[in-house]
Amino acid sequence: QQQVKQSPQSLIVQKGGIPIINCAYENTAFDYFPWYQQFPGKGPALLIAIRPDVSEKKEGRFTISFNKSAKQFSLHIMDSQPGDSATYFCASSAKDGSWGKLQFGAGTQVVVTP
Amino acid sequence: DAGVTQSPTHLIKTRGQQVTLRCSPKSGHDTVSWYQQALGQGPQFIFQYYEEEERQRGNFPDRFSGHQFPNYSSELNVNALLLGDSALYLCASSLTSYEQYFGPGTRLTVT
């Protein structure tokens, strides 16, 4: 049972473009939504995270948009650079009863061409 | 400030053997979670340790066990290895229940 569905599986954008990755969740108890960036052979690195009490959060060139009623959230990478080429994972966790256990999406491979 | 460290980096084992993976959490963190990441997939939660006890567990068989030491470091043990256990094993540490920081992982290959 996949509780977090992520799309697309992969995408290619030119330098300066804005890749957008979408995630949908089912469990209404989820209250923490992080995004992780993973390069080949490395562990996931925490990029940015959002709680459901806000609809948008920006950190540098990364923006999370959150739609609580639709149970969806997305990652936008502004002014993308070739160095942003990586696999991105969305995740969710619930406060009560799961102690921060992260449920991950399947990942999106992003390629930024020069 | 040292981040999460894991050892070994790579490991090759034969089916039926046992393996122990090690993790040192980020300084100041007291909670360690272990995840299994198969090739091309997202990490899957194995279990979490806090105050030297397993606090919660994912859908993994009893062949997967762990331990947390008084200095908060942790071990993941896998018995009776199967070919399907081949994966990247990730350790994540945290202080609160939320922000989890991952180590580089241990790549386990079972032949």
pLDDT tens digit sequence for B37-75: 999 999 999 999 999 999 989 999 999 999 999 999 999
Q: What is the mean pLDDT of chain A?
A: 93
Contacts with A, B 79-108, CB within 8 Å = 90, 92, 94, 96-105
3-state secondary structure of B83: helix
Does the beta-carbon distance from B43 to A104 stay under 8 Å?
yes
**Quick check: A6 pLDDT over 90?**
yes
SS3 of B50-68: the string is ECCEEEEECCCCCCEEEEE
Residue-level pLDDT at A96: 63
Residue A32: name the closest of A84, A75, A90, A93 by CA. A93
What would the mean pLDDT of A89-100 be, rounded to a whole number? 79
What is the tens place of the pLDDT at every residue in A24-51?
Answer: 999 888 989 999 999 998 999 999 999 9
**Quick check: A97 pLDDT over 60?**
no
- Partners of B96 on chain A (C-beta within 8 Å) are 100
What would the mean pLDDT of B22-43 be, rounded to a whole number? 95
Of A6, A46, A103, the CB nearest to B99: A46
Does the beta-carbon distance from B48 to A36 stay under 8 Å?
no
Distance from CA of B33 to the nearest CA of A (A): 8
Reading the block at residue B2, the tokens are 């040292």
Confidence band of B1 (pLDDT split at 50, 70, 90): low
